[in-house]
């Protein structure tokens, strides 16, 4: 693994989702944020390349936060975001990466102890490093 695409992916996800979805998405949630909103959660990154291709498989969780007491709001937001993620590959070209394969692995929603619901969309992306090695 020569370069890790996590910052490039986070930047691209924030841009793509905020441009196409009216529910805000944050890297860092400001004190003024009011639910519903989304955050970028846990990342995992593992080697997926070959001798000739520098690739990694990244799993990223997108969290949806809602104070609505039922599942309707969280499921509606998740549906829109999942459709969005399946419509177009995330553009990582500005950072010399390419999304080769992108799929939503799963979505789950569960009640929070005090208020509303939390939803998690797990997105799996195979990413190729397009930058030539300096070796």
Tell whether the model's pLDDT for residue 132 goes beyond 60: yes
Kindly indicate the confidence band of residue 134, based on its pLDDT and cuts at 50, 70 and 90: low
Q: Which residue has the tokens 């969005």?
A: 84
Tokens of 108: 């789950």
Q: What is the pLDDT of residue 3?
A: 86
In angstroms, what CA-CA distances link 69 with 14, 35, 36, 61, 64? Answer: 27, 12, 12, 22, 14
Q: Nearest CA to 8 among 112, 101, 91? A: 91
Q: What is the pLDDT of residue 29?
A: 95
- For residues 28-45, average pLDDT: 96
Tell whether the model's pLDDT for residue 135 goes beyond 60: no
pLDDT tens string 69-99: 888 999 999 999 999 999 999 999 999 999 9
- For residues 120-125, average pLDDT: 98
Q: What is the pLDDT of residue 8?
A: 97
At residue 61, φ and ψ (nearest 5 deg) are -105, 130
Residue 61 near residue 41, CB atoms below 8 Å: yes
* Mean pLDDT rounded to a whole number for the chain: 93
Distance CA 109, CA 71 (A): 8
Dihedral sign of CA atoms 66, 68, 73, 75 in order: positive
Category of 12 on φ-ψ map: left (φ > 0), alpha (ψ -120 to 50) or beta: alpha
Give the other-Cβ count within 10 Å of 46's Cβ. 9
């Amino acid at each position: 693994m020569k370069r890790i695409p996590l910052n490039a992916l986070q930047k691209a996800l924030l841009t793509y989702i905020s441009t196409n979805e009216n529910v805000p998405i944050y890297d860092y949630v400001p004190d003024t944020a009011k639910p519903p909103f989304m955050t970028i959660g846990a990342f995992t990154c593992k080697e997926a390349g070959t001798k000739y291709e520098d690739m990694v498989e990244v799993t990223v969780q997108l969290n949806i936060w809602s104070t609505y007491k039922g599942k309707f709001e969280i499921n509606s937001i998740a549906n829109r975001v999942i459709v969005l993620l399946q419509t177009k590959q995330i553009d990582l070209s500005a950072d010399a990466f390419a999304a080769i394969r992108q799929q939503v692995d799963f979505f789950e929603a569960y009640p929070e102890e005090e208020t509303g619901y939390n939803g998690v969309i797990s997105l799996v992306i195979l990413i190729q490093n397009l930058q030539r090695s300096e070796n």
